Structure 1
Amino acid sequence: MQILACQPGAVPSLFSAEGVVGIIFLLTVALVVTGALIAVSAKRLVRAVAGLAVCFTGLAGVYYFLLSPFLAMMQMLIYVGAVSILIAFGIMMATPEEQQTMGMKNRSALAGPLACSVGALLFAALTMIAVKTQWQVVTRQGAGDIKAMGMALLTKYAFVFELISVILLLAIIGALVLAQRGRN
């Protein structure tokens, strides 16, 4: 994989390799934001899960741009391929309820503005932290071969590897609970 680096102080042209890579990166970030907005604003649960899958797909693209193709592949396999599809099948196996929105009647009028203000404050705080932090370039360790990565997953990062399997187990149990509640 070739690493593209811009010269300090130079603005890359739109038609250069750096410009095209920047546009593709912005498109993947837009995919993440669009999928997240669909996931939180959809009125139907199936559309919300589709938005979640789109968000996870864009996040895999961001991982790829962070020079971690293995993590991007795992994102696609675990979250898009397993968790999102499992939730979608759980929703589809459940019998549809009446056409009423449960819980929407008791919502406070301040819930939306309060959530937006908390989100804006969090975004501002994270932006200030990102701007004020002195970011250091980390040298890449190892060649990224699959054998070394497998050994690291099963020795040094075994806990994280097992934690991913617990997340998958919880997703399976959640889908089964959704399906069982819908049938009763």
Structure 2
Amino acid sequence: MINLPDTVFVLIAGMMLIAAAGAVWLKNVFYNALCLIACLFGVACLFIYLNAEFLAVMQVIIYIGAIAVAILFVIMLSHPMARRHAERSGATLARSAVLAGALFALLAKAVLSAAWVRGSSGGDSTRAIGRALLGESVLPFEIVSVVLLAAIIGALVISRNR
């Protein structure tokens, strides 16, 4: 019997696999980066599926919002899309397929032979993280925020001088 959580997981995992394949096999670097963003968004969706909302938000803010957008800026500013692509020979593709198959078999063996422990639903993880950050860890949290603010101001000063 098919239930909704399993269907949602399969849809998210399928989207991630398609995006990962696109990130590897497409020949346009810009499309590779877009597929990477889609795959990272799928990871955030899986975090939500696992009731780890804080990790999902951090995934979107840090990886999609900062790193992937920076990758897109570098790609668009450096114009690598006009370059010719290296030709792929049949021998290279065969070696890659054998290596990928061996890696898949190794990972499948590790996953299937592992003793999985069912996690407990610890309640609201976002609330617990917020209380920890603004409770006993408030001083390091504020120091990090001041250091990040100084880094942002320094980056603005450096970019203004150019």
State the TM-score, normalizing by the size of structure 2: 0.72
**Which amino acid in 1 is paired with 2:131?**
A
The offset of 1:138, in angstroms, is 3.0
In structure 1, what is the equivalent of residue 153 of structure 2?
A: none
Aligned partners of 1:98 and 1:85: how far apart in 2? 20
In structure 2, the gaps of 5 or more residues are: 149-162
* Equivalent of residue 113 in structure 1, options 94, 110, 118: 94
The offset of 1:140, in angstroms, is 4.3
* Equivalent of residue 47 in structure 1, options 14, 31, 35: 31
Q: Does 1:89 align with 2:73?
A: yes
Q: CA RMSD in A?
A: 2.7
**Which amino acid in 2 is paired with 1:47?**
Y
In structure 1, what is the equivalent of residue 64 of structure 2?
A: 80
Task: Decide which moves more: 53-62 or 138-147.
Answer: 138-147
CA distance 1:98–1:22, shift in 2 (3 Å)? closer
Identity of aligned residues (%): 25
**Which amino acid in 1 is paired with 2:37?**
A
How many pairs are equivalent? 138
State the TM-score, normalizing by the size of structure 1: 0.64
The offset of 1:83, in angstroms, is 1.1
**Which amino acid in 2 is paired with 1:82?**
A
**Which amino acid in 1 is paired with 2:29?**
L
Aligned partners of 2:53 and 2:116: how far apart in 1? 22
Q: Deviation per CA, 1:86-118, whole angstroms, max 9, x where unpaired?
A: 1111111224675522xx15x554221112111
**Which amino acid in 2 is paired with 1:147?**
G
Runs in 1 of length 4+ with deviation above 6 angstroms?
A: none
RCO higher in 1 or 2 (8 Å CA, sep ≥ 6)? 1
* Equivalent of residue 116 in structure 2, options 120, 132, 135: 135
* 1:67 aligned counterpart, secondary structure: coil
**Which amino acid in 2 is paired with 1:132?**
S
* 1:43 aligned counterpart, secondary structure: coil
Aligned partners of 1:149 and 1:123: how far apart in 2? 39
Aligned partners of 2:17 and 2:133: how far apart in 1? 32
2:47–2:55 contact (8 Å) kept in structure 1? yes
